[in-house]
Structure 1
Amino acid sequence: MSRKNQLSALIMLIIGLGVFAFEMHNTNLQALWHQALHMNLFWLVIAFLAMFISYFFEALVLKVLLKNREDSLHNWWNILRIPWIQALFNAITPFSSGGQPAQLIALLQSGVEGGRASSVLLMKFIIYQTIVLVNFIFAMIFKFQSIAQHYSALAYLIAGGFIIHVFTIGLLLMIMFYYRLTRKLVMGIMKIISLFVSHQRVQVWTNKVLDKIDTFYHESLVLKKEGRKVLLATLLTFIQLLFYYLVVYFTLLALHVDQANLIDVLIMQIMIVMITSIFPVPGGTGGAEYSFKTLFARFVSVPSQLYLGMFIWRFITYYLGMFLGIIAVAFKPINERKNTQVRGGKTFDEEPRKSNN
């Protein structure tokens, strides 16, 4: 990792500790320590295991999408390290913008051809966003009215997250199925922008946007031809997210919160994912903790127990990925093909390019 990335990781750790310190400034530390000593260690281990299983299924998605290609990955270390690297760079960049280019570099280092790596990551991103959106729609159908009634402030944040996800998926689908129309719309928008910004700068922006649209469209043609892979990857992504959502339920069980309803907890976690997506701060820091405290206070009435649960859940779902990502970056992939070079010589010592993904 470059010094800039190391500094970003350190800053996020400090900010995270600051958020917890602020949230717990009125909490009885003795009661908090008592809650920690009397946790159910079995369910705590299961919570950690659920997160590792989630990473494993995310790796399986990549393995499936790369299957039957000349540069498929066969070494499990090369596959497993990629979700961890994504977790790290998602955690230290605003709107998780660094995860996508970091995964690309990881695949290139493992010997996957650049164009194919981009195509596979594109498929993975579309599938993931679609499943998140579908899960959220089901959650809204069952619980949004209740949340809007009891948590009016969160209802606006949830709606904002939903709009962002719909816009993202809609834009990608427009490029896939209405390629020419999308290009014309972009050109029209850029002409309007040129009224307020210099023509030279607008031309640079236009070329970059059109280049991304062209790349996405051509790679989406591959996506349409591989229906079976996409279907299997979709199922695996659903399982990946299910285990991720279950972490909070197992955390509550570890704290002896046995009255928590599994379905309610899963829906609450889906809502939190939507809320954190609209916060520009890396990892949704602040928004994630606020959402957890607000939504799960109905299940956990003891403040020390609630804040301990928030810390454990946040550590497993956020900080654990950062630490695993640091390990994945430190230990290089096992090259499965000789004479393979990383395109452009890029490594994780360079700042990942920001991506709309």
Structure 2
Amino acid sequence: FQGVDISTFFASMLKVNPWWLLGAFAAMFIYWFLEAVVLQTASKPANKDQRFFSSFRITMIGQFFNTITPMATGGQPAQLVMLTKQGMDAGRGSSVLLVKFIIYQAMVVLNFLVILIFGIHYLMTGVTQLKFLVLLGFGVHVVVIAALILVGRSQKFTTKLVHVLLLPTRLFMKKEKVANLKNTLDEKIITFHEESSRIGKDWKLIVRCCFYT
């Protein structure tokens, strides 16, 4: 609004077709609703008492923290905190959110592939300056999925990664506290991989989550 006259803005808003605004709001609500459906579908086996209203509330909390944190990094940690408050183990909650994110990334790549197949002509002839950026983005998504799957499938890799990330804590924490934290995280990694393995074998659940996503 820095370079916009407020009276001109409101005069323009009065000319906007309200049906397009309602359509945009409806599309946004459907997106939130389906996000909650995916979360409910993925988390219900790990927490039988999870209700859909709770999943929707956790989804909206994630949306809020995605909006107010740099590069939308705060959404999933906030959702994990809420899942643990609902009675879910932190390791299992982390696994549910990781699988949900992997499915989201995979569906992005699938859409990417469809667009590349049917729109490659426009990409190569219409916006030639962007083609390398588009292909770079596609490559980054593929690498992210591969890395996330490695974290979800390899307990040894995840444990080593967490231990490396814990190294800076030695600078400002006592050895006993670092050791206790390390042991606690090792226990959560075990439950994390148990849940990842269970979800990975449940193809019906994965297909449903992919469809909703």
TM range (shorter): 0.7 to 0.9
Structure ranking higher on relative contact order (CA contacts 8 Å, 6+ apart): 1
Question: 8 Å contact 1:72–1:112 — kept in the other structure?
Answer: no
Look up the match of 2:101: 125
Which residue identity lines up with residue 59 of structure 1 in the other structure? A
Question: Is the aligned partner of 1:74 residue 2:77?
Answer: no
Look up the match of 2:212: 236
Look up the match of 2:139: 163
What is the deviation of 1:68? 4.3
Look up the match of 2:75: 99
Question: Where do residues 218-229 of structure 1 align in structure 2 (5 Å cutoff)?
Answer: 218-229=194-205
1:157-177 Cα shifts (integer Å, max 9, x gaps): 333322221111111233455
Question: 8 Å contact 2:46–2:92 — kept in the other structure?
Answer: no
What is the deviation of 1:70? 4.5
What is the deviation of 1:122? 1.7
Q: 1:123 to 1:178 in 2, by over 3 A?
A: closer
> Percent identity over the alignment?
35
Look up the match of 2:16: 39
Q: 1:138 to 1:165 in 2, by over 3 A?
A: same
Could you tell me which runs of 5 or more consecutive residues in structure 1 were left unpaired when the two chains were aligned: 1-16, 191-197, 238-357
Question: Is the aligned partner of 1:61 residue 2:71?
Answer: no
164, 170, 173: which one aligns with 2:149: 173
What is the deviation of 1:105? 1.0
Question: 8 Å contact 1:85–1:102 — kept in the other structure?
Answer: yes
Question: 8 Å contact 1:59–1:79 — kept in the other structure?
Answer: yes
1:312-355 Cα shifts (integer Å, max 9, x gaps): xxxxxxxxxxxxxxxxxxxxxxxxxxxxxxxxxxxxxxxxxxxx
Task: Count residues in correspondence.
Answer: 198
- State how far apart, in whole Å, the 2-side matches of 1:225 and 1:149 are: 43
- State how far apart, in whole Å, the 1-side matches of 2:92 and 2:24 are: 35
Q: 1:173 to 1:219 in 2, by over 3 A?
A: same
RMSD: 3.8
1:97-153 Cα shifts (integer Å, max 9, x gaps): 211111101212233332322221122111111111111111122224413433344
Structure number having the greater helix percentage:
2
Question: 8 Å contact 1:71–1:112 — kept in the other structure?
Answer: no
1:260-306 Cα shifts (integer Å, max 9, x gaps): xxxxxxxxxxxxxxxxxxxxxxxxxxxxxxxxxxxxxxxxxxxxxxx
Q: 1:176 to 1:107 in 2, by over 3 A?
A: closer
Q: 1:68 to 1:134 in 2, by over 3 A?
A: same
Look up the match of 2:175: none
Question: 8 Å contact 2:42–2:96 — kept in the other structure?
Answer: yes
Look up the match of 2:92: 116
